[in-house]
Chain A
């Protein structure tokens, strides 16, 4: 229960951010000709942003099942790497049926927060998924049923919630481990290429994120492989530092 509540709390900023994205999705789904209940059903069964936007675009035309499958695989392949990564950190009780059930919630943001855990407990993961899932579903419903009710200023501000959260995860790790700075610079460089170079701009955002991230992480892994302890126990190393500080304080006294 304690872990569930801790996860629940950690999911609040994700849920807030999802509200604005799924709200936009709800509006888009209606404009593509879906009913309100169809829009909500898509969000509640799929829980992904880029994939859903691409999906409703195709639903507007008949018979694109294979194209849909292929585009979904390329957009979502990043989730496979996230699942492998979290699988490595999942504790001994987080296996079997729990992985089949909770793997459903592996979004970019939930992955990002879960990856900060030293050992991922299933109750923490479920707690972490709860508010984002509600936010994603409710946001879609509001967007689909009510359209533009939130003032543009609020929508604009909420759009930065998820990015703020990402920054809060990446920056402290850059301070702690220098090679992460290289990973960030490389990923930024690659993603800028996909963003600004006209030919590369045509690549879907889901796929380009996968390509940029895999390339940056591969380069860093080859140049700066981390030792077992470093990749495993981020927390204990910072605790060590704290206890060292304590010792110094004690010595000074």
Chain B
């Protein structure tokens, strides 16, 4: 791949990704008052995060069992309102420890 081709591709890739993020951010300044639109925006983070996590997380590590262990540990700690960092670190540790035994 020559440089011209690379930079054209890069422009399309980076440019489109940037504009998709920024245009709605800049364009929609006023408060949205519609009850349903507000509700939609309230639910969207949780829906996005769930769709990204499950079932993908079950297959993210080198074994299903270690992933499951990490997820269960994360859910328990999250249920006890531990911080994001604590939950993330202990989820990783759970995976690491489980994989030592399998």
Contact B70 A187 (CB under 8 A): no
Number of CB contacts from chain A to chain B under 8 A: 310
Which one of A83, A88, A175 contacts B32 once the chains associate, using CB atoms below 8 Å? Answer: A88
Within 8 A of B (CB), among A45-78: 45-48, 51-52, 55, 58-60, 62, 65, 68-69, 72-73, 76-78
B53 partner residues in chain A, CB cutoff 8 A:
163, 166-167, 170
A45-B10, A169-B84 given; A160·B92 CB < 8 A: yes
How many chain B residues have a CB neighbour from A under 8 Å? 78
The number of chain A residues with a CB under 8 A from chain B is 106
Residue of B nearest to A163 (CB): B57
- With both beta carbons as reference points, the residue of chain A lying nearest to B78 in the complex is identified as A171
Asked whether any CB of chain B lies closer than 8 Å to the CB of A216, the reply is yes
Q: Are A65 and B9 interface neighbours, CB within 8 A? A: yes
Q: Majority SS of interface residues in chain B?
A: helix
Asked if A183 is an interface residue, CB under 8 A from chain B, the answer is: yes
Roughly how many angstroms separate A183 CA and B35 CA in the complex, as a whole number?
17
Interfacial chain B residues near A126, Cβ < 8 Å: none
Q: Given the known A-B contacts A167-B71, A169-B45, A213-B47, are A104 and B18 also in contact in the complex, defined by CB atoms under 8 Å? A: yes
Nearest chain B residue, comparing its CB with the CB of A84: B24
Contact of A80 among B20, B32, B100 (CB under 8 A): B20
**Cβ of A217 < 8 Å from any Cβ of B?**
yes
Contact assessment for B88 and A165 in the assembled complex, using a CB-CB cutoff below 8 Å: yes
Give Cα A101–Cα B16 distance, bound, in whole angstroms: 15
Chain B residues lying within 8 Å of A13, measured Cβ to Cβ, are 84-85, 88-89
Q: Is the CB of B25 within 8 A of A51?
A: no
- Selected from B21, B24, B25, B96, the residue in CB contact (under 8 A) with A153 is B96
Nearest neighbor of A224 in chain B, beta-carbon distance? B39
Contacts beyond the supplied A48-B17, A84-B32, A217-B40: 18 A-B pairs with Cβ under 8 Å:
A12-B85, A45-B14, A59-B5, A59-B6, A72-B20, A77-B20, A80-B21, A87-B29, A88-B28, A88-B31, A160-B60, A162-B88, A180-B46, A184-B47, A188-B54, A209-B51, A212-B51, A225-B35
Query: What 10 A-B pairs come out closest when comparing CB atoms?
Result: A164-B91, A171-B78, A168-B87, A103-B22, A221-B39, A187-B50, A45-B14, A83-B25, A212-B51, A163-B57
